[in-house]
Structure formats: structure tokens, C-alpha cells
Amino acid sequence: MQPSVPSPAPSSEPSPAPSAESPVETAAASSPVAASAPAAPRFDERLTAPGSWWVIAGLIGLSGGLIMFPLGNVPMLGGLIVAAVLAGAAVSSYGSARIRVVAGSLVAGDARIPVSALGAAEVLDAEEARAWRTHKADPRAFMLMRSYVQRAVRVEITDPADPTPYVYLSSREPEALVAALESVRAEAA
């Protein structure tokens, strides 16, 4: 059995902070988890569906209940629940598209594009965005568009190996998206 060593009594004085010359590092600074922590997104937007779509999903649930009403109360409740859940899931999945600028990349839906492969970004007002969705659209372009978001951003693709001419992204905050892309591009340069 080893003799126990008495521990020092706790003092009410705060322990001195390590100086700049001290080789002592904090646990957070030296841990591999802190070094590999993902950078906070510079821009993060979820293109959620408008409230009116949720009202429509509720009405679809109600109609499912009314369809099953002649069969009794239990089938009516089942129809109401099933139709409401299915309509809600459809609205939720359609409105779950995200646009982010994080870790030197533009992440739009399932696409991840390095900012180094992007060219000029252009903010589109409602009229110009509609034109780029219709008669100006290129079938090779990557488009993350939502009909209920009026404004958009168009970003050119400068990678010669990529046949995609541009990326079209619906956005409620297109100026912030363009500013985030420009700040990441400026840091990389």
C-alpha cells in the first residue's frame, strides 16, 4: 500500500493564468477535437415553405378525414392523421433546402462547390430572377429554386472542367450571400 500524499488545500485566490512565455497550453487548444472543429458558416439560410403551405397541408389532412368519415370515427381519425402527416412531410421536405457558405465552399442543397471554382456573383431582383428561371435559363445550370422566394443569386462557375455555366440560388437574403462569397474569396487570395 502506498502512502497517501496530502493534497494542497483549496485557496480562495484564483490560479495565475499562463504567461505568453509559458509552454503550458490549454486543453482546448491542444486537443485534436478543437483543431478539427468545423468553421462556423458565414452564411446559412433555410428556404422554408411559407405559412400558407402549412395551412394547405392541414386542409389536406382534414379532407383525408372527411373522405374516411362514412366509414366511422376510427377510420376518419386515421385518414385525418395519415393525410396530415403525409402532407406535412411533403411541405417540410420541400422547405428543407439550405444554402450555406462554410469552410471555403458554397453548399446548396446536396451540391458542394469550392469558392475557388466560382466566378462573379450577381444579385437578382424579382423580375431578373424570373427571367433567369425561364427564357434566360441554361439547361446545364445547377438551380436550387423555390417558387415562393422571389429574389435570387446567380454565380458563374469558372472551373473549365465543369460543364455547368452557373449556379442559380433562390435566396431571401441575396446581398448577404454575395457578401459571404466575396469575403471567403478575399480571404483565400
Positive or negative CA dihedral for 46, 151, 137, 165?
negative
Q: Is 43's pLDDT higher than 70?
A: yes
Per-residue model confidence as pLDDT tens digits over 152-187: 999 999 988 889 999 999 999 999 999 999 988 888
For residues 7 and 151, which has the higher predicted lDDT (pLDDT)? 151
Average pLDDT for 113-117: 90
Residues with Cβ within 8 Å of residue 18, at least 6 apart in sequence: 24, 26
Task: Please state the φ and ψ torsions of residue 66, each to the nearest 5 degrees.
Answer: -70, -35
Report the mean per-residue pLDDT for the chain: 82
Domain ranges in the chain? 45-94, 98-188
**Cα 44 versus chain centre, distance:** 5
Residues with Cβ within 8 Å of residue 170, at least 6 apart in sequence: 47, 129, 144, 145, 146, 149, 151, 152
Per-residue model confidence as pLDDT tens digits over 51-105: 999 999 999 999 999 999 999 999 999 999 999 999 999 999 988 889 999 888 9
Q: Is 9's pLDDT higher than 90?
A: no
pTM of the full predicted structure? Answer: 0.70
Angle ∠(122,50,56) on CA atoms, nearest 5: 145
Q: Is 29's pLDDT higher than 80?
A: no
